[in-house]
Amino acid sequence: MNCFTCERHLSAYIDDELPAQSRRELETHLDECPRCRAEFEAHQIAWETAHQVRAEAAPDGLWEAISSHLKKPVESTRLDDLALMLRGLAAQVQDLQRSVDELRQDQDSAAEPEPLREGIRVRANPFAPGQRRESSIERLRQSS
How many Cβ atoms from other residues are within 10 Å of residue 105's Cβ? 13
> Using N-to-C axis directions, what is the helix angle for 20-32 and 3-14, rounded to 10°?
120
Q: Where are the domains of the chain?
A: 1-53
The tens place of each residue's pLDDT in the chain, 144 residues long, gives 888 898 899 889 888 899 999 999 999 999 999 999 999 999 888 888 887 877 788 888 888 988 888 887 777 778 888 888 888 888 888 888 888 888 888 777 766 555 555 555 545 555 555 555 555 556 666 665
Q: What is the pTM of this model?
A: 0.39
